[in-house]
Structure 1
Amino acid sequence: MTNILKKSTDENMHSHKDVLDFLDEHLRYGYVKECKKRLLNQSLEVSNGYIRNVKSGVQTDWKVLEVLAEIASENKAAKDRVAELISNN
């Protein structure tokens, strides 16, 4: 009988569904253009449809997903700053 080793999961690891929900919540209109610009800085050229497919979970491309997550994180931080400024008044 073979021993089956289970991979240990990190506590900070997120499922694909959590990541896609985060992107849906925090990516604003025009994210494709910003993503293409950042990917061109990394010498990667992808189509608008490909970026949308990665965002929706149809395609898996870690480089594109990383850029989308960066954009979503920046948008979330901006939303939080605005909410904080509004709540201080």
Structure 2
Amino acid sequence: MRALRRSGDLRATVAFNTSYVPGNSNYHFDRYDKALERFIALNHSHFEGSIRDGEAALGGWSFIPAIGALLATALTLMGIRPRLNEYR
């Protein structure tokens, strides 16, 4: 592009930068853009699959935090109760 511009051929410079003819700038950028879109789609597909697999693997474990919170509350109350009875 710079060589074309230095040569003074403005039409050729503009054509190189705006044409989709093989060998010109937009042609290569369009090929790169399409390859990047395919790469992103492939990675997105694998990511979504991994998320589904992870959710399926952890599906039965969602009740564990609730049980842990109830257990912690019960044990806390059991530990505090004797101390409170000392003040009666």
Range of TM-score over shorter length: 0.3 to 0.5
Structure with the higher helix share, 1 or 2 = 2
Structure with larger Rg: 2
TM-score normalized by structure 2?
0.35
